Amino acid sequence: MAPHSLQVNAKYWVINLLAMTVGDSKPKSIKASNVTSAPPPPGPPPPPVGTTKTGNCGDTSYRPLLDCNAGPGSGALNTTSYGMKTIADCVDTVKSCKNANYVSFSLDHAHEDCSWYSHCDFDNLAHIGADYESEVVTGRDSGGGGPTTSSPVYVMPYIKDNRKGLLVVNKKAASLELKIAGATGGLATVVEVNTDPKCSDPGFEPQVRKEISADGVLSVGPFGVAVVTELRDE
């Protein structure tokens, strides 16, 4: 029997990145951060009710169906637990909920996912590893208001070996330009998602090195994770 080749899954490169940088055993101190983001410009109206498209509206976690009315602006149901076989089943289950303006659906065994969203950038859906399909349910859109107004980026500053660093997580399915106040350059190691729909198995790709510009800007792709290991601020 031929030996099995090592199959690297979507989480491998992120775990590897953290283990080699901020997650190692060296002493470090965590600092507070202040993240601000400009409100997005008004976008085009959402597509008509019933419009479907390959991809999903973003990361979610399983929540009780009740949360679709009273909880956060997004969540998910397990398709097996609710007996769902099609995206139509997903829509029928959540369509009466106030937060279910969109759904993303996958029967992939690793996801079993019927996710609902109050807001979705339907023109920029994510393509991350599973065979997802999304649908416009109501024709409404929160526009990012309400519970979905959280910052699109998580930042954790730290100091290790008397050097400043940053852990950056892009929580959205679109690229962002992160402006680091006071920075005049530096280097980051970044893991990003291959969102090319032509890719047979899109997912996280190996780490790449990116420079922070002289005016302190770091580009991070959709759902990207970056660790700034060299930061110039003089």
| Same domain? 143 vs 177 | no
| Same domain? 76 vs 103 | yes
Tell me: the pLDDT tens digits for 188-212?
A: 988 887 665 555 455 567 888 999 9
**Of 100, 123, 148, the domain-final residue:** 148
pLDDT of 35 above 50: yes
Share of the chain above pLDDT 90, in %: 24
Q: What's residue 136's pLDDT?
A: 95
Q: What's residue 199's pLDDT?
A: 54
Mean pLDDT of 166-190: 85
CA–CA distances in Å: residue 64 to residues 61, 76, 138, 177, 188: 10, 8, 21, 35, 38
Does 1 reside within a domain?
A: no
pLDDT of 9 above 70: no
Nearest to 221 by CA among 182, 188, 199: 188
pLDDT of 90 above 80: yes
Does 214 reside within a domain?
A: yes
| Same domain? 23 vs 66 | no
Number of structural domains the chain divides into: 2
Q: What are phi and psi of 12, to 5 degrees?
A: -55, -50
| Same domain? 57 vs 142 | yes
Does 134 reside within a domain?
A: yes
Say if pTM beats, i.e. exceeds, 0.85.
Answer: no
Weakest-pLDDT range from 55-69, 96-110, 114-128, 192-206: 192-206
CA–CA distances in Å: residue 148 to residues 21, 117, 121, 171: 30, 9, 12, 11
Q: Do the Cβ atoms of 41 and 143 come closer than 8 Å?
A: no
**Of 95, 126, 148, the domain-final residue:** 148
Q: What's residue 3's pLDDT?
A: 42
| Same domain? 163 vs 196 | yes
Weakest-pLDDT range from 118-132, 148-162, 189-203: 189-203
Mean pLDDT of 131-152: 72
Does 45 reside within a domain?
A: no
Tell me the C-alpha distance between 42 and 20, whole Å: 40
**In terms of C-beta distances under 8 Å and separation of at least 24 residues, what long-range contacts does 67-73 make, across chains too?**
67/99, 68/94, 68/97, 68/98, 68/99, 68/100, 68/116, 69/97, 69/98, 69/99, 71/99, 71/147, 72/99, 72/147, 72/148, 73/99, 73/117, 73/118, 73/119, 73/142, 73/146, 73/147, 73/148
Q: What's residue 114's pLDDT?
A: 95
**Domain span at 201:** 12-37+151-232
Does 7 reside within a domain?
A: no
Q: What's residue 2's pLDDT?
A: 38
CATH of the domain at 192: 2.60.40.1180
Sign of the C-alpha dihedral computed for residues 212, 217, 223 and 227 taken in this order: positive
| Same domain? 172 vs 223 | yes
Q: What is the DSSP letter of 149?
A: G
Q: What's residue 141's pLDDT?
A: 82
Does 47 reside within a domain?
A: no
Structure tokens that stand for 43 in this block: 């976008």
| Same domain? 125 vs 167 | no
Does 46 reside within a domain?
A: no
| Same domain? 140 vs 170 | no
